[in-house]
Structure 1
Amino acid sequence: MSHPFVLNLIPTAQAANDDAPSKAPALLDARKERVLALHTAGVSRRKIAEATGETEHYVRQVVKGVPVVEKLPTSPFERAVARCYPMAISRTGIKDHQFRAIMNECYGVEWDTEKGKYKGRCTVDQLKRVRERIRERATADGLSAIFVMDWINTNEPVESNTAITQCVLNLQDAIQEAVDEFMQVSGIQHVEEGLDLALARKKQEFAARRYILKLAVKGLSKEPVARLQERTLDQVNQLAGTPDAPGVSVSVIKPHHPEPKWNDAFLDFCEGQGWLHPDHYPEVELAISAAGY
């Protein structure tokens, strides 16, 4: 039985009369360069796909056989950059609470006995340096790093910004309305000779706005609200000629919250609230057990 003659042409085969094969390296297109840059930097395939918009199948084909050359991060700074970078270059960016959580994990935390919670050891300068390094690295990779404020809805960024802007305008109107009402009732009408009445009213209006905000917005003033009201009442009584009038007595007790021992979540919470002393743990646990819980 005769067999038909088949000529197999192999693209990679070199022709017999080809004495000068080309040695010029193949140029990568921009898509592959971006994928490979992230891969060699240690970014996972899934994160690369999110950052570049490519499919995971395409990313897998491009990085196949290409080793990761970046060394494992050792310092807290390097670890923070390595962990935050893939999130920062993703479509939705990295939220502020996510960024700070990673910074706390990398730099460590310590217990704040006054506030009763853990606080990060990283400084403002370290936060700034990590953000700057991530932005520099993204620029070098032809990408953009986005650090997102927690209130932004990343699925509807424009709509959420429009909504909060309207909230601000409504609040500004309400504050101005309150200040105008105060000035109408208690605005300065007369000043001593030689003083500018318009300037005095302007200063009073500014101070009234600040005072209203300090009382209404928790945490705006470093001075405790109770202490501020006590100081205010003392000045008012002196001006009214009744310095001995009963006022608000404020006893400032510096709170102390011991660090949780993580033995029993409920007892730790009670201890943190100051409801229970650790010495009473055994009898409380015994009572709980006797009750069948």
Structure 2
Amino acid sequence: MQRGTWLGLKEQCSAVAESSASRKGVRRAGQQRWWEQEITVNGNIQKGELITYNLTELIKPEAYEVRLTPITRFGEGDSTIRVIKYSAPVNPHLREFHCGFEDGNICLFTQDDTDNFDWTKQSTATRDTKYTPNTGPNADRSGSKEGFYMYIETSRPRLEGEKARLLSPVFSVAPKNPYGVTNTAYCFSFYYHMYGQHIGSLNVYLRLKGQTTIENPVWSSSGNKGQHWNQARVNIHPTTSFQLIFEGIRGPGIEGDIAIDDVSIVEGECMKADQPANNLRAGAVGTLAHIWLFPVILLMSVLSHQR
């Protein structure tokens, strides 16, 4: 689990006597000291009832012991202890983020509840292409048929113009430097696949903290781009915590699947692409030819004077 998400820890009252409260204890594995807190509830907890608690005491990414003790009018009941592994948050302060959609929680990306349909996590090995063989990737970005990516399925009942929106986690930027300007530039990159005669559009928006109704366009592309993955690289300059939104729009037909893979956000602006090596070699050859050509011209000039 991760700090900041609610914990799926549930207490089930099994005692005959009704429980009116519980005592929650948390400690780092191997430590002696417990952080304890009494949790009261409205009314009595009935036998068999499930109650969910939030844990906010987790600080370092390591194992914790969680103890729950029911409290009844007759005293404390039997305690239950569970060990929970806490993993570090994706973005306590964003320096570098990479997501290939391989893990079960798809890097904490979420579906937008206000759109028409959802993005789908898929691999070529499990994707049924029987009805739409002329659209969608034939492998993930790395070339693996078992690797995963996110895509929009545009087969029926989808209609032209319908949208699927995928929301990134909320990323925190570096705090402002009171003695100078803070560099809040990030290189945002991802791979996209837009193959099929009915491809619609893929849009990316930047949403800043506190501006839930304002989405700044970052990148956009439409139409068939061929049966291959392309990379997009964009500099973004968020001034506060931010979120990125991938919006896939269904085109005029069923051969319009759009996919994304290998999303990354790295602190600092994107590096300019280096010149192709063949250009460098061509320039070097041209320089060498010029160097050798000059002595040849000079030698021919000397020979003509001697004649």
User: TM-score band, normalised by the shorter chain?
Assistant: under 0.3
Name the structure with the higher helix share. Answer: 1
Q: Which has the larger radius of gyration?
A: 1
Q: By percentage of residues, which structure has more strand?
A: 2
